[in-house]
Structure 1
Amino acid sequence: MVLKEPQTYKNQVDLLRVKGFIISDENLCVDFLKEVNYYRFAAYYLPFRMAVDKYQPSISIERIKDIYHFDQEIRNLVFAAIEKIEISLRTHIAYFHAHKYGAEGYKEASNYRLDHKHEVFNSHIKERIKENSSSLVVKHHNAKYEGKFPIWVVIEFFTMGMLSHFYLGLTTSDKKAISKDLYKTTESNLESWLRCLTDLRNKCAHYSRLYYWIFTAIPKFPTDCEYPADRGLFAQLLLLKFMYPLILDWNELFVLPLEQLFNKYDGSISLGHMKFPENWKELLLK
């Protein structure tokens, strides 16, 4: 199949009109398309598609822009929460591992599951250290400690995916100890959470769409959780609640700003597009 021809901004506006969208100010629409790739923007009117190139009538381009801006803001809110969770995870896992196996215990294959691909993982660690060779931390340890790095230093260079794999590779007893101490949950649940968190973090880091997105992984929730886990955004946010390290801050720094976002974009967004139940606030509050 032959690829489509590139379109001018004027033609892109015409395409939106053909699809049935209401455009009250063509110049403003062009200005917006100059800043946001048409292909990227197009994903935000997927919730209104009825058939191929056929959309719900009377949908204004301003509403789609509102949804786009809402997605930017909720993504920033989510990313800020993930930052706190990720730093807490690094801290607790490094502390546990260092006190049980020593500063360089992460280098020993015997401290992992039998099926752990230890050599491959160690090569990834070396790559990360090399990539950060200009940092003061690496220079300091190369100069003073002959290139030796304790777990509490090297873990700061892990990607979220590496951190997840590091936990997955630990022995069952170690995973149980960490998951129970940190989240009062099972190692199976935490494995699920880390997979979901990695995916969610990567989407935020690459400015990907969260609104009306169907996630690949379904998080495992505690047995007493009232919400049945699914692939919608709300399930991912409920997961953040379970992992958020600062209990007293969660309501003020996440739930309240989230509610304010909903009020700000009321009339443009739909909670149903993100799989939010009617009692979403009750479920999210700590």
Structure 2
Amino acid sequence: MSATIKVFKTYDEQVDLLVARGMGISDRPAAIYHLERINYYRLSGYWYPFRGIIAPGQRSDHFSPGAQFEDVIALYDFDARLRTATFDALTPVELALRAALGHTLGELHECAHLTPGVLSSRAGGESYSRWVDDYNKQLGRSREEFVVHHIHRYGGTLPVWVAVEILDWGSLTYLFDFAPNRTQTEIAGNFGLTAPQLRAWMKSLNVIRNTCAHHGRLFNRTHALVPKLPRLGAFPELDQAAPHMNRTFGQLTLIQHLRHQHGLPLSRMLAAVIRSYPDHIARVPVAQLGVWPDWQASPLWPT
């Protein structure tokens, strides 16, 4: 066994380690309970802001004075609520995109997704071949009744308006990219965006969706994908979010914009969760989520 592998620690020993590093733990049995149900390393992302700062971008293994385990759990619970609300807010947007892409491509050809000549020139290379291979794998794994019906009735070839329902978000984004420019423009226009903007938004929101689906951390996260925004002044409510697009709240604003533009009600649950942030933790302000001071004045964030 490699000497670099960390030594196993019981839950009691994990608590001892946290205490030795300066974490305040007032209720030891409760701390053990949380470590049992969540996992030490999943929680480490939430106590990271409580670690001492050695230099810019570098943290100590020891916690700053006043760090409390209860505050770490408060942040974790907030993030769990945020994931639930985000997934709920994003779902109808995803369904609308699936429906729009399946319908507009279906007008061109019943099996547009499998007919490169109907798609753009971007569907002529290796990326499209890989997409088709991945699509066939997803088709083979699907146990949806409508898939079984098409296999028995039509030999398994799904029309594009059915095929979009088995695609994961990443595959859906690629299909949008393969679509003819006029199809992309039509769909993007329904959301008040250009085709390149919607394509970039879909890629960014795929990361958000996957984070929610796999119980990842939205809190205090820096996002590498920064989506393109409409020109300054086109949507003032998005102008406010522009400086925060690499943070979670900035990207949640994208979801609200897409809902609003497509005639879906704004997510009040998502806004309520943001308002539920544990503000008593002064050391970790809500600004670390990318929330700006007057966010509640934005028409995209209803009270």
TM-score, normalised to structure 2, is 0.87
Structure 1 60/31 Cα, relative in aligned 2: closer, same or farther at 3 Å?
A: same
Please list, as runs of the form range in 1=range in 2, the aligned pairs for 1:23-102 lying within 5 A after superposition.
23-49=25-51, 50=53, 51-99=59-107, 101-102=108-109
* Residue of 130, 134, 138 corresponding to 1:120: 130
**Contact 2:81 2:273 (8 Å CA) reproduced:** no
Deviation at 1:238, TM superposition (A): 0.9
Q: Which residue of 2 aligns with 1:243?
A: 258
Structure 1 197/90 Cα, relative in aligned 2: closer, same or farther at 3 Å?
A: same
- The RMSD of aligned alpha carbons is 1.8
What SS class does the counterpart of residue 165 from structure 2 fall into? helix
Please list, as runs of the form range in 1=range in 2, the aligned pairs for 1:172-191 lying within 5 A after superposition.
172-180=181-189, 182-191=190-199
Deviation at 1:259, TM superposition (A): 4.5
Distance 2:207 2:34 in 1: 29
What SS class does the counterpart of residue 218 from structure 1 fall into? coil
* Residue of 135, 142, 146 corresponding to 1:137: 146
Deviation at 1:260, TM superposition (A): 4.5
CA deviations on 1:102-138 (whole Å, 9 max, x unpaired) are 2212211112232323332222221111101x33212
CA deviations on 1:184-230 (whole Å, 9 max, x unpaired) are 21111111101101111011100001111111101222222322243
**Contact 1:10 1:30 (8 Å CA) reproduced:** yes
Gaps of 5+ in 1: none
Deviation at 1:247, TM superposition (A): 4.3
- Residue identity over aligned pairs, in percent, reads 24
Distance 1:221 1:31 in 2: 44
**Contact 1:219 1:239 (8 Å CA) reproduced:** no
User: How many residues are treated as equivalent by the alignment?
Assistant: 280
CA deviations on 1:40-81 (whole Å, 9 max, x unpaired) are 111101112223213221111001011000100011000111
Distance 1:249 1:5 in 2: 51
Query: Residue type matched to 2:97 in 1?
Result: L
Distance 1:20 1:222 in 2: 47
Distance 2:114 2:290 in 1: 43
Q: Which residue of 2 aligns with 1:209?
A: 217
Structure 1 248/128 Cα, relative in aligned 2: closer, same or farther at 3 Å?
A: closer
Q: Which residue of 1 aligns with 2:291?
A: 276
Q: Which residue of 2 aligns with 1:232?
A: 247
**Contact 1:212 1:273 (8 Å CA) reproduced:** yes
What SS class does the counterpart of residue 161 from structure 2 fall into? helix
Deviating beyond 4 angstroms after TM superposition, the runs of 4 or more aligned structure 1 residues are: 245-248
**Contact 1:85 1:244 (8 Å CA) reproduced:** yes
Distance 1:253 1:59 in 2: 30
**Contact 1:47 1:273 (8 Å CA) reproduced:** no
Structure 1 251/204 Cα, relative in aligned 2: closer, same or farther at 3 Å?
A: closer
Q: Which has the higher helix share?
A: 1
Q: Comparing 165-174 with 243-252, which one deviates more in the overlay? A: 243-252
Question: Are 2:111 and 1:104 aligned?
Answer: yes
Q: Comparing 140-149 with 82-91, which one deviates more in the overlay? A: 140-149
Structure 1 151/42 Cα, relative in aligned 2: closer, same or farther at 3 Å?
A: same
